[in-house]
Amino acid sequence: LGGPGSGWPSSAGSGCGAAMDVFGDLRRMNKRQLYYQVLNFAMIVSSALMIWKGLIVVTGSESPIVVVLSGSMEPAFHRGDLLFLTNFHDDPIRAGEIVVFKVEGRDIPIVHRVIKVHEKGNGNIKFLTKGDNNEVDDRGLYKEGQNWLEKKDVVGRARGFLPYVGMVTIIMNDYPKFKYALLAVMGAYVLLKRES
């Protein structure tokens, strides 16, 4: 209906037209090209997973990279900062260190500073945390009846950071539709990208 010389307005500039172009490209690909692009996409995903698993082994942390989601650690870290973690069990936990820990009943790990360490004679360590920007310690965040954290609660210790690089993650958490749109665009780009 649309197009040059037809008298009808062309829809190529609209979002619908762009989507139709993507499906048109997919239809024009032969099966061999499509399989090649799908395998290419699978290799990218598996490479990313291998890199992630490698980082877990090297750093000793189940989450070697995390994003700061709140302002509780300002001015040390701001919302959207990307933290690099290690979690070597032989390293003793000391007051002043910034740790990332999980609390039973909460899905998202918390990034706060160790303010007190309680060492027992048998070598067991218990410690208390607090956000730099918070008025009180974290006992209100721990599970009911828990007053101290233990080493098993630690996901990692902050070793470095990149400011505001994680804002994309925050935007994707706040606006799930944006996340799915971004994933769809990335998937379409990889599938339709042709070797030159």
Tokens, residue 156: 């990692």
Phi-psi region of 126 (alpha: psi -120 to 50; beta: other; left: phi over 0): beta
Considering 61, 72, 81, 153, which one is annotated as catalytic? 72
Considering 6, 11, 61, 112, which one is annotated as catalytic? 112
Q: What letters, b where the CB count within 10 A reaches 16 and e where it falls short, cover 103-113?
A: beeeeebbbbb
**Catalytic site includes residue 118:** no
Half-sphere exposure at residue 99, Cβ-oriented, CA atoms within 13 angstroms: 29
Considering 61, 81, 138, 153, which one is annotated as catalytic? 138
**Catalytic site includes residue 47:** no
Q: How many degrees, rounded to 5, is the angle at CA 95 between CA 93 and CA 100?
A: 60
DSSP state of 48: H
Question: Cα(71)–Cα(128) distance, rounded to whole angstroms?
Answer: 19
Catalytic residues, by residue number, are 72, 112, 138
